[in-house]
């Protein structure tokens, strides 16, 4: 759903520890040059399309997603980076 939003080049979602929920969905989003989303805009765009528990609690904008030598997104690196408050 994230990748279908206008101006989103690619994205990844991971679960991070959350005090109330146990785990919360966090998104890392790469936007096209010149296209600006904000965290609230992404969440508001996804809310009618996804069940509430699938909507990211936080959205982080990154220049690129970390990848391994095979080109796969390193979700563990994202989880570590975004699990810190």
Q: Compute the distance between CA of residue 77 and CA of residue 9 in angstroms, rounded to an integer.
A: 19
Q: Compute the distance between CA of residue 49 and CA of residue 14 in angstroms, rounded to an integer.
A: 18
Angstrom CA distances, 76 to 37, 68, 70, stand at: 25, 11, 15
pTM of structure: 0.89
* Superfamily in which the 2-82 domain is placed by CATH: ANL, C-terminal domain (3.30.300.30)
pLDDT tens digits, one per residue of 7-20: 999 999 999 988 88
**The token pair that represents 68 in the structure block:** 């391994």
- The domain spans of the chain are 2-82
Q: Which has the closest alpha carbon to 5: 30, 33, 26, 34?
A: 30
Q: Which has the closest alpha carbon to 5: 39, 31, 27?
A: 31
pLDDT tens digits, one per residue of 18-39: 888 789 999 999 999 888 899 9
């Amino acid at each position: 759903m994230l990748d279908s939003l206008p101006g989103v080049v690619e994205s990844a979602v991971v679960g991070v520890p959350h005090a109330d929920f146990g785990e919360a969905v966090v998104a890392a989003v790469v936007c096209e040059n010149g296209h600006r989303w904000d965290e609230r805009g992404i969440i508001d765009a996804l809310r009618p399309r996804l069940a509430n528990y699938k909507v990211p609690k936080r959205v982080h904008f990154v220049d690129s997603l970390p990848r391994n030598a095979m080109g796969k997104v390193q979700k563990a690196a994202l989880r570590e980076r975004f699990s810190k408050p």
